[in-house]
Amino acid sequence: MPNPSSVGLTGNARISSLLGLNTGVLTAFARSPADQIRADAERLSHIILEMQRCFVLRLSKQLAPGNVSFPQFFLLTYLDQKEVLTMSAIAQKMGHTTAAASGLVARLENLGYVLRSVARDDRRKVMVCITAKGSALVRRIREEMVGNLVKILDHLTSDEQKAWLQIYGKIYDYCQSK
């Protein structure tokens, strides 16, 4: 664990950052608004990492029967929203080189989840679209995700559900603007 003074925390905020991660109780003792924001951000980072671990474990179990990796599934969800994409657009969306994106698409094509073709107007362009089998996989996984989220929402009050959706909507909008 980093030294609290090395990350700019002072006084009680230093204590809250060290002790408050698991309980959240001590974060209320931060002296300044900046210290409180830092302590809250540390608590949120812990929560987010645990939630991601939980969701990733579930998602990996759901993807295993289809022999699909996380990057492949994320590409399928993106393709499911589009009619057709060029290999360059896929590479850009995935943050890969065109060669790496081509390998990703080749594996999905071998599994029958996507089709590749050349553009009519420019034979150098490779076009990719999702197949019915690929769309069915995306729908099945999304349904399982919705079911898991319903279970979580059942533990929240109506106001908490609305607040969660509103906050996640803002976070989503922020991430999309970057």
pLDDT tens per residue across span 26-53: 545 547 889 999 999 999 999 999 988 8
pTM of the predicted structure, to 2 decimals: 0.68
H/E/C letters for each residue in the chain? CCCHHHHCCCHHHHHHHHHCCCCCCHHHHCCCHHHHHHHHHHHHHHHHHHHHHHHHHHHHHHHHHHCCCHHHHHHHHHHHHCCCEEHHHHHHHHCCCHHHHHHHHHHHHHCCCEEEEECCCCCCCEEEEECHHHHHHHHHHHHHHHHHHHHHHCCCCHHHHHHHHHHHHHHHHHHHHC
Cα dihedral 137, 138, 139, 140 sign = positive
pLDDT tens per residue across span 111-156: 999 999 998 888 888 999 999 999 999 999 999 889 989 999 999 9
Residue 90's closest CA among 78, 106, 108?
A: 78
Spell out the domain ranges in the chain. 1-66, 67-178
- Fold entry, domain 67-178: Arc Repressor Mutant, subunit A (1.10.10)
More confident residue, 174 or 124: 174
39, 13 Cβ separation under 8 angstroms: yes
Residue 96's closest CA among 106, 107, 108, 87?
A: 87
Distance between CA 39 and CA 15 in Å, rounded?
Answer: 10
115, 131 Cβ separation under 8 angstroms: yes
In terms of Cβ atoms closer than 10 Å to its own Cβ (0-12, 13-18, 19+), residue 36 is middle
pLDDT tens per residue across span 159-171: 999 999 999 999 9
